[in-house]
Structure 1
Amino acid sequence: MPRRARILAGGYPVHVILRGIDRAAIFFEDEDRRFFLDTLGMASQEASVAVHAYVLMTNHLHLLMTAERTEGIPKVMKQVAQGYAQRINRRYRRTGGLFEGRYRSALIEADRYLLACYRYIELNPMRASLVVAPGDYPWSSYRANALGSADPIVRPHARYMELADIESERLAAYRRLFEDALSTELLECLREGTNGGFVVGSQQFERQIAAMVGRRTWRGSPGRPRKESDISQQGELPV
């Protein structure tokens, strides 16, 4: 059975998850994390991909990125995953695959879900009970986005910049977003959308992207699968 093509489009933010094979560790020392970020920085610059948020956990990682061209994110992920896996295999004298396979991704509607995705990513260490506050974790973009710390990886999205015109006010506004917990519904929406390779957004946004890529962009219902042509028929879309 052929693999389902990813839903990607230039200019739209994408949430990416990459896990270790069998949920095993992919980062063993701080030097590994620094190497990964250096590789990500070079690859994203070469492919004209902006990294807005990231977190490096022990056995998986999250990225929020926007590419100028549709092929940008696949190029970055291939370069980073291959280069990092080769480095780890050499460094620790191991063989075989490091990652579970293909990275998982979801196209994110910027107006409604982008800042929630920022928070979802940067709150990962707290949900894993590794720290008591997101700023305590050194391997995420929180310190750049919330505290203004220098981070060569991070490039802010326009939606983030709209929080305020003055940097100090923008940082404060971003920190205030973390005062409210993400709802269970929103957490599941981001998880299911990314793990399933769908779009995270409103029905109008789903229709817009479906028309662009020529196929369904939302999780299907049980029963007979829709034909590809159905996605353009208003009456066949979910309500």
Structure 2
Amino acid sequence: MARLPRLYAPRIPQLVEARFARPLAPADSPAPAAALDRIRNWLAEEIGRAAAGEPGAVALHGWAVLPDRITLLATPGDEAALSRLMQALGRRMGSGLMRTRVYAGRYRNALLEPGRWVLPAMIWLESLPVSTGQVGAATQWPWSSAAEHAGLGLGSAAGARPVLTDHPDYWREGDTPFARQAVWRNRLAAGLGESQSRPIEAALSGQWALGERIFLAHLGRLASRRVSPAPRGRPRKAG
């Protein structure tokens, strides 16, 4: 079965996830802090390099590095921007950390409707250390954007951190940074219900767009390929 081409549309945010071919540590082991620090630093450097390169910049809205994956929420500046970023990270990890195959296949991505799915996707992303059993609260994980969005400092991990570009949906959470951070702390503490988490996971797994019908119809005229699964069953006969 031929693999799907990358799904892209101009100025549309994407949820991106790349699984590692081999986890950095066993599931029941302590977090591999030194390795996670290095990946976070490389991500910070590559995001800064992309921003300096103008047209193909990647606006990073949220991120998380776990022992088994990298997950990002970002708006790419062009169709190849995220591929360039993930390839650059793969080269760095392959030569400076893993010295073997880095990713377990291609990264997966899902396009998100602004105003509807960007913030739930960011909560889902920043809550991954909780849902995978790494920590009890999202802001306790130093290798994500959760603490920064919540105004609780930058965690215990030392080194560079990726520069965030706040999405307009996050800005609308409050009139001041303190108000936005307070709202975000409450959002992270509440988490997502299955009615939100399942569609996010399904869109990411299937590499589709996530949004209301009007958004998907509009996106279908801009995107690089079909944005949602075809209806099941045989098409209806005309007449």
TM-score (norm: length of structure 2): 0.83
Task: String of CA shifts for 1:124-171, please: whole Å, max 9, x gaps.
Answer: 111122222111111111011111535443221111111112111111
Percent identity over the alignment is 24
Query: 1:3 deviation in Å?
Result: 2.4
Residue in structure 2 matched with residue 194 of structure 1 by the alignment: 204
- Asked if 2 retains the 8 angstrom alpha-carbon contact of 1:43 and 1:76, the reply is yes
Distance 2:133 2:89 in 1: 28
- Asked if 1 retains the 8 angstrom alpha-carbon contact of 2:15 and 2:204, the reply is yes
Residue in structure 2 matched with residue 36 of structure 1 by the alignment: 39
Q: Identify which of 225, 228, 232 aligns with 1:218.
A: 228
Give the aligned CA root-mean-square deviation in angstroms: 2.2
Q: Identify which of 90, 94, 99 aligns with 1:85.
A: 94
Task: String of CA shifts for 1:60-114, please: whole Å, max 9, x gaps.
Answer: 1211111222221111111112221222234xxxx4x121110000011111011
- Asked if 1 retains the 8 angstrom alpha-carbon contact of 2:139 and 2:152, the reply is no
- Asked if 2 retains the 8 angstrom alpha-carbon contact of 1:19 and 1:99, the reply is yes
After superposition, the Cα gap between the structure-2 partners of 1:29 and 1:220, relative to the gap in structure 1 and judged at 3 Å, is same
- Asked if 2 retains the 8 angstrom alpha-carbon contact of 1:26 and 1:60, the reply is no
Residue in structure 2 matched with residue 124 of structure 1 by the alignment: 128
| Residue type of the alignment partner of 1:10 | P
Task: String of CA shifts for 1:13-44, please: whole Å, max 9, x gaps.
Answer: 100111122xx304673222222122222222
Instruction: Please state if 1:19 is matched with 2:19.
Output: yes
Residue in structure 1 matched with residue 215 of structure 2 by the alignment: 205
Question: What are the within-5 Å matches in structure 2 for residues 152-163 of structure 1?
Answer: 152-163=162-173
| Residue type of the alignment partner of 1:203 | R
Give the structure with the higher percent helix. 1
Structure 2 runs not aligned, ≥5 long: 26-30, 51-55, 155-160
Residue in structure 2 matched with residue 4 of structure 1 by the alignment: 4
SS of equivalent residue, structure 1 residue 107: strand
Structure 1 runs not aligned, ≥5 long: 227-239
Distance 1:158 1:148 in 2: 21
Deviates more, 1:159-168 or 1:106-115: 159-168
- Asked if 2 retains the 8 angstrom alpha-carbon contact of 1:51 and 1:64, the reply is yes
- Asked if 2 retains the 8 angstrom alpha-carbon contact of 1:10 and 1:69, the reply is yes
After superposition, the Cα gap between the structure-2 partners of 1:89 and 1:170, relative to the gap in structure 1 and judged at 3 Å, is closer
Distance 2:71 2:10 in 1: 19
Of the two structures, which has the highest relative contact order with CA contacts closer than 8 Å and spacing of 6 or more? Answer: 2
